């Protein structure tokens, strides 16, 4: 894949050139994201098959980090948050907002037990060593 990226300031470019370059970049990102996902799956499968969490190839290191995601059950947590007068802060079951409320001590993990399922996900961290 080849992408010709202009070095010009978009303000100095004709709008036609801006739109065409923008479309090129959006298309390239889509192709790259698809390829990244394919490669990511292959790396994660290798971690699972070999039961390891770190791969080094030359000076490149890839680490697998386990992350537990809470999948909030809206039918359980919404009434609870309404009762605690917190629903207006959340307005939807948002993992980030709920995590912040737990971090601040407004809510506790204990009182929310049973209101979410946990899904294990993995993130990959790539670095040059």
Q: Are residues 64 and 28 in the same domain?
A: no
Cα–Cα dist 92/86, whole Å: 11
Q: Are residues 105 and 64 in the same domain?
A: yes
Q: How many domains does the chain have?
A: 2
Cα–Cα dist 40/72, whole Å: 26
Q: Are residues 84 and 37 in the same domain?
A: no
Q: Are residues 60 and 23 in the same domain?
A: no
Comparison of pLDDT for 115 and 64, the residue scoring more: 64
Q: Are residues 88 and 124 in the same domain?
A: yes
Q: What is the pTM of this model?
A: 0.56
Determine contact, residues 15/23, Cβ cutoff 8 Å: no
pLDDT of residue 58: 93
Q: Are residues 119 and 108 in the same domain?
A: yes
Q: Which residue range(s) make up the domain with 61? A: 53-129
Q: Are residues 3 and 48 in the same domain?
A: yes
- Each residue of 11-61: pLDDT tens digit? 888 888 888 888 888 889 999 999 999 999 999 999 999 999 999 999 999
């Amino acid at each position: 894949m080849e992408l010709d990226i202009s070095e010009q300031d978009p303000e100095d470019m004709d709008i036609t050139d801006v739109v065409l370059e923008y479309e090129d970049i959006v298309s390239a990102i889509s192709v790259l994201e698809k390829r990244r996902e394919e490669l990511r799956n292959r790396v994660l499968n290798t971690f699972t098959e070999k039961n390891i969490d770190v791969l080094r190839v030359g000076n490149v290191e890839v680490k697998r980090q386990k992350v537990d995601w809470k999948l909030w059950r809206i039918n359980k947590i919404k009434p609870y948050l309404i009762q605690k007068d917190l629903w207006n802060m959340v307005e939807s079951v948002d993992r980030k907002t709920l995590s912040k409320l737990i971090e601040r001590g407004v809510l506790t993990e204990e009182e929310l037990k049973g209101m979410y399922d946990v899904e294990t996900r993995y993130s990959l961290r790539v670095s040059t060593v």
